[in-house]
A and B are shown apart, each in its own frame.
Chain A
Amino acid sequence: DGGITQSPKYLFRKEGQNVTLSCEQNLNHDAMYWYRQDPGQGLRLIYYSQIVNDFQKGDIAEGYSVSREKKESFPLTVTSAQKNPTAFYLCASSVPLGPYNEQFFGPGTRLTVL
């Protein structure tokens, strides 16, 4: 089955540690995105990538880093510079030139920093 996987579903880390969230897709989509969602809020864009080896900052990129070495993978690192990293993180992918360009989402990773 084609889809987007994010692992792990729940992640706990100590303050000051970097942590990497995984996102893999087998939909053959060119574009991938990372969003952050805080309780009761909408999604905010952290980073996005439209092709391999290229990515752009979204609205809240500070304290985060990404890489896009393979089409299928777009890992997100939450660094110790991110002041309030506890949140729900969603990865998405899309076909940039599709009719709707709707984004397909993974199941999300809930990160808690203790």
Chain B
Amino acid sequence: AQKITQTQPGMFVQEKEAVTLDCTYDTSDPSYGLFWYKQPSSGEMIFLIYQGSYDQQNATEGRYSLNFQKARKSANLVISASQLGDSAMYFCAMREGSGTSYGKLTFGQGTILTVHP
């Protein structure tokens, strides 16, 4: 079974508008963390934002925020005021924390975001 599902293969957004990238996850572990990474065409992976399963508030980092709905098992990334440099592949990932598994990440398939001028 897929642990991380990103249902949007590609998304388009106009510059300066906001965009939401969807991510749903599946785990029975009460302790987990959710991550979003950005992968530009160069291939490097850039960490954007983190949400812990016990965090009460949604995470925010600059123009990035994470819409965490625990009961729905969703962790959508919201990018506000899109910029041309935001065009990239975006990955949602989950860490299930327990014992020797601590630190392993499971990635979704990714969403390609294209920002139009």
Could you tell me which A residues sit within 8 Å of B by CB distance?
A: 31, 33, 35, 40-45, 48, 50, 56, 58, 88, 90, 92, 94, 96, 100-108, 110
Stretch with Cβ within 8 A of A (4 or more), from B12-20, B43-51, B67-75, B78-86? B43-51
Whether A31 lies near B103 (C-beta < 8 A) is yes
Could you tell me which B residues sit within 8 Å of A by CB distance?
A: 4, 33, 35, 37, 42-47, 50, 91, 93, 95, 100, 102-110
CB neighbours of A48 from chain B (8 A): 103-104
Whether A107 lies near B43 (C-beta < 8 A) is yes
> Nearest residue in A to B35 (C-beta to C-beta)?
A102
With both chains docked as a complex, state the minimum distance between the C-beta of B101 and any C-beta of chain A, in angstroms.
Answer: 9
CB neighbours of B44 from chain A (8 A): 105-108
CB neighbours of A56 from chain B (8 A): 100
For the A-B complex, the count of residue pairs with Cβ-Cβ distances under 8 Å equals 64
CB neighbours of B109 from chain A (8 A): 40-42
Whether B43 lies near A50 (C-beta < 8 A) is no
Whether A107 lies near B42 (C-beta < 8 A) is yes
| Cα(A35)–Cα(B110), bound, Å | 15
Q: Is the interface of B mostly helix, strand, loop or mixed?
A: strand
CB neighbours of B35 from chain A (8 A): 100, 102
If A102-B47, A103-B47, A107-B44 touch, whether A41 touches B110 (CB-CB below 8 Å) is: yes
Q: Is the interface of A mostly helix, strand, loop or mixed?
A: strand
Whether B105 lies near A50 (C-beta < 8 A) is no
* 3 A-B pairs closest in CB distance: A42-B107, A105-B45, A100-B50
| Cα(A56)–Cα(B99), bound, Å | 13
> Can you report 19 A-B residue pairs in the complex whose CB atoms are below 8 A from each other?
A33-B103, A33-B105, A40-B109, A41-B109, A42-B107, A43-B105, A48-B103, A48-B104, A58-B104, A88-B43, A90-B45, A94-B103, A96-B102, A101-B95, A103-B47, A103-B105, A105-B46, A108-B43, A110-B43
CB neighbours of A44 from chain B (8 A): 107
CB neighbours of A104 from chain B (8 A): 47
CB neighbours of B95 from chain A (8 A): 101
